[in-house]
Structure 1
């Protein structure tokens, strides 16, 4: 299903609430993004972000790293070349253009949302399998590494 800018945040919120676990490859993270994508400490979460380009809010990444330090089922890595925006769970995925940020999703209210984002929301088993394979390959590739202090 196609998702336009008006539905993007709502669709992701519903997905985050429903899915038992999430794998997230989103390049840039804004303030509050970690709470948006992982509001419950009990859910397994793997995150790949891009720290080289300077597009992420350092405080959001520090909170994700701290959460990963506290919770064995939360992991975060970085990939200098990542520009993708993929959020995938066991039964659905959103593949689109928005970073998890104020500009991408209007996390601080629609008055600061700048970009017109779009995505595909899918529950198709073959698409989910392909997206999960892509994420797993990136997760274990030499392009991706742990985040150090």
Structure 2
């Protein structure tokens, strides 16, 4: 038995799989690149894999690629949280999911989670793990294309809430420096504009405010719907003068009744799932 971290666990699992013709893998969460990272696409390797698709923490695209492998049975168990990689010659059991964070290459280890795993060669323990896999696998259900379609919806939402593995930040820019690749940043945008709304569009906005259908604080962008989606957070600058003028922070809202206008409301705080809530200071 040997203790393995996130890097040495990957080396041990790859070595196990490279020397086996059959593997049983019960790992709750799967990320992009797991197949190549683990060497699962090798000819002559048959696979039984159990995941937790219902958690929202499995990349459906990677599981589709798994299903396309020639000799695989893929099932899901909604209560699975285990992580073990079993072959007849040995196993690795611990905390590492089949993801870039859970199983890290040496060059990427500093950006992932810190894991603890053990390698196992004892025949009795291997037999116990084999039986445990059979119990869990039997209790799961076969994963098909329709299951992956449904999972894709919660996967997209969950990626914006994924924890960073870093200390919580105290400011917006510190949050960005801490986790610049977090998916939530796709919802934060810097807007530069030069021209006001057309008189026609401004008259429509004023009329909606006067009739009580819009609040007086509302703003609007004309023709930006391809770039700004409802829920996006905006740091706004007017650039019609010699230098940019900061115009506040805004949140895009759905609807509004005028197709080409994206309506926005002022916000004092940026609420970023998994990162925290931050005001945007004048200095920032």
Q: TM-score, normalised by structure 1?
A: 0.88
Give the C-alpha shift of residue 90 in structure 1: 0.6
> Which residue matches 1:81?
79
State the distance in 2 between where 1:63 and 1:108 align.
25
Residues 113 and 18 of structure 1, relative CA distance in 2, 3 Å threshold = farther
> Which residue matches 2:142?
146
> Which residue matches 1:33?
34
Give the C-alpha shift of residue 100 in structure 1: 0.7
Q: Which runs of 5+ in 2 are unaligned?
A: 146-284
Give the C-alpha shift of residue 93 in structure 1: 0.5
Moved more, 90-99 or 110-119: 110-119
Residues 106 and 86 of structure 1, relative CA distance in 2, 3 Å threshold = same
Q: Please tell me whether Structure 1 or Structure 2 has the larger radius of gyration of its CA atoms.
A: 2
Q: Which runs of 5+ in 1 are unaligned?
A: none
Preserved contact between residue 85 and residue 99 of structure 1 (Cα < 8 Å):
yes
Give the C-alpha shift of residue 113 in structure 1: 3.7
**Greater length-normalized contact order (CA 8 Å, ≥ 6 residues apart):** 1
Question: Does 2:117 align with 1:115?
Answer: no
State the distance in 2 between where 1:108 and 1:82 align.
28
SS in 1 for 2:17: helix
Question: Considering only aligned residues, what root-mean-square deviation do their CA atoms show, in Å?
Answer: 1.7
SS in 2 for 1:47: strand
Preserved contact between residue 101 and residue 107 of structure 1 (Cα < 8 Å):
no
Task: Give CA-to-partner distance per residue, 1:16-45, whole Å, 9 cap, x none.
Answer: 111221100001111111233313132110
Within 5 A, what are the aligned runs for 1:1-149? Answer: 1-37=2-38, 38-67=40-69, 71=70, 73-106=71-104, 109-110=107-108, 113-141=111-139, 144-149=140-145
Q: TM-score, normalised by structure 2?
A: 0.48
State the distance in 2 between where 1:61 and 1:2 align.
29
Give the C-alpha shift of residue 107 in structure 1: 5.4
Preserved contact between residue 102 and residue 109 of structure 1 (Cα < 8 Å):
no
